[in-house]
Structure 1
Amino acid sequence: MSQSTWFITGVNSGLGRALTERLLADGHRVAGTVRRPGSVDDLAARYGDRLWVARLDVTDTARVREVVDSAFADLGRIDVVVNNAGYGLFGAAEELTDEQIDHVLATNLTGSIQVARAALPHLRAQGGGRIVQLSTYGGQATHPGASLYHAGKWGIEGFMESLAKEVAPFGIEVTLVEPGGARTEFRFGSLRSATPMPAYDGTPAAMTRGAGDRSRPSIGDPAKMAARIIESAAQTPAPLRLVLGSDAHRFITAALRERLAEIAPQAESAGSTDWIDETGGSDGADGPTVRGR
């Protein structure tokens, strides 16, 4: 991959940090955002002006637009925009506070949407580019005790899949990255948990209460995952989904099989609700129009 410029949110830790280190070491430029000033000073000292850094909380929409605009203005063309900022929130839905729910959706869902929206005018003007969205296997599969985390990830997957079809005419491509567990600080640093309710003791929702147990390390290698993401950015056409980790592949495959097994036998009953015209046949309507709603 020839020298390129990447915009990445949340470069101070996790896959954002791994991506940034690999890209800079390979001679690329990175515009990175952090919530805590000074958290990537070591990289700035090592790589100088090849690392552009701005403070950003993605829940601040006005600031998102300001930072994205500044990055394009200062660096010119940006080839890849990576939505990496996010965190895990575990606990039964009933255990979570209203504030926890609002914040995780504002970060993992709305924040990613607004970064993409802020970048689109620039990507269109330059004639194309790539948007990489860090999701998770939990964007297609679910576990009890993670309902709001899944809500944000399923939501961003739907948004990005639709966006990919909207922006294809402009040469803009989208990739959803679906990692499994990785040996980052995700489970130990940024992970947030609800205050347990005794009613959920011993139930499936309680399984996430041990997510921060360091005696059970994740299977994924963040450096290898970063390398695959970088490789994918050079693929044409872009992969819509990039699954990373044998655990991710196993969970996603099982979820898709279960979902198909549930709906496949419903073909006849589903068709029984079609509109029948006066001649006794279906009008064959297709597309996004939904009748009766």
Structure 2
Amino acid sequence: MNKTWLITGVSSGFGYELTRQLLAKGDTVVGTVRNKAKVADLGEKYPTTFDYQILDMTDTPAIQQVVKEAFEKHGKIDVIINNAGYGLFGAAEELSDEQVEHIIATNLTGSIQMIRSALPFLRKQGHGRIIQISSYGGQVAFPGNSMYHATKFGIEGFCESVAQEVAPFNIGVTIVEPGGARTEFRYGSAQLAELMPEYDGNPAHSFLAMLDSSNVLAPGDPSEMAKRIIESVDITPAPLRMVLGSQALASTIATLENRLADFRTQTELAASTDYKE
């Protein structure tokens, strides 16, 4: 049975690959972009099943309008994929106020408002799946990437809570945590702070080697990652998290094991603050 999907940020990366695969198998995609020219090829090839709209993820009223019109026009939306977002690199001190505010508004607040806008419609139709594209950077933090991690750690907490709220309405939530992939996120769309010489040679600038495409390319295959994301909507109950990429999974497990080991050393400290009855 064909599905209808609402996907943000479909002009490149995972969004484009997801849309391409879904349209090829006969599904309908409502996609949001900032530049329609970037998806004109798909619009020409799939004029009846690809409905693409301009959307700035920092504009909450516009998000609400796009969601409302999508449900009204197509009757139902089976899957919402929050994909739009970008990376911002640089030490915390190097970032401008505008850069800090914009990445929060796009990656975190925009994703939150998209989900909030869709929930009344999903609840009314009695089913739905929400897929939040996060990153293994929602669990593992690296220097020089503080604000990106802030948005991903934040959206994961939001989604984990919402998943429990909406499960009784037959709405599933999945957080997707990809590792490095060969998309424009790493090789084209990444934004940099104005770098300070004081941080030269500092771990905060280690990302410069990662962003250099002349070095070893990211291991993740966007096409295969998109396939796994699409397949996940047929898994019941919805998996709360999906880590994509062997390196990402190994790094996540190591980080969580270290975190647990640290917590386990704090048993006496934690108990010392309880009331002594």
Question: 1:122: which partner in 2?
Answer: 121
Question: 1:41: which partner in 2?
Answer: 40
The whole-number CA distance in structure 2 between the counterparts of 1:211 and 1:95 is 18
1:60 Cα deviation after fit: 0.3
The whole-number CA distance in structure 2 between the counterparts of 1:57 and 1:178 is 23
The whole-number CA distance in structure 1 between the counterparts of 2:206 and 2:96 is 19
The whole-number CA distance in structure 2 between the counterparts of 1:217 and 1:51 is 32
Residue identity matched to 1:176: I
Runs of 4+ deviating beyond 2 Å: 209-212
Structure 2 residue 161 is the aligned partner of structure 1 residue 162: yes
CA deviation vs aligned residue, 1:108-153 (integer Å, no higher than 9, x gap): 0000000000100100000020000000000000100001110000
Aligned residues: 276
Question: 2:99: which partner in 1?
Answer: 100
Question: 1:288: which partner in 2?
Answer: none
Bigger shift: 180-189 or 120-129? 180-189
Indicate conservation of the 8 Å contact 1:81/1:131, yes or no: yes
1:186 Cα deviation after fit: 0.8
Question: TM-score, normalization: structure 1?
Answer: 0.93
Question: 2:246: which partner in 1?
Answer: 246
3-state SS of the aligned residue for 1:40? helix
CA deviation vs aligned residue, 1:13-57 (integer Å, no higher than 9, x gap): 000001000111111110000011222111011111111111001
Structure 1 unaligned blocks of 5 or more: 281-293
3-state SS of the aligned residue for 1:176? strand
- Asked which structure has the greater CA Rg, the reply is 1
Question: TM-score, normalization: structure 2?
Answer: 0.98
Question: 1:287: which partner in 2?
Answer: none
The whole-number CA distance in structure 2 between the counterparts of 1:96 and 1:131 is 32
Residue identity matched to 1:77: K
Question: 1:79: which partner in 2?
Answer: 78
Indicate conservation of the 8 Å contact 1:88/1:191, yes or no: yes
Question: 1:173: which partner in 2?
Answer: 172
3-state SS of the aligned residue for 1:109? helix
CA deviation vs aligned residue, 1:235-286 (integer Å, no higher than 9, x gap): 000000000001110111111011101111212221121123xxx3xxxxxx
The whole-number CA distance in structure 2 between the counterparts of 1:117 and 1:238 is 19
3-state SS of the aligned residue for 2:234? coil
Could you tell me the percent identity over the aligned residues?
Answer: 58
- CA RMSD for the aligned pairs? 0.9
Question: 1:17: which partner in 2?
Answer: 16
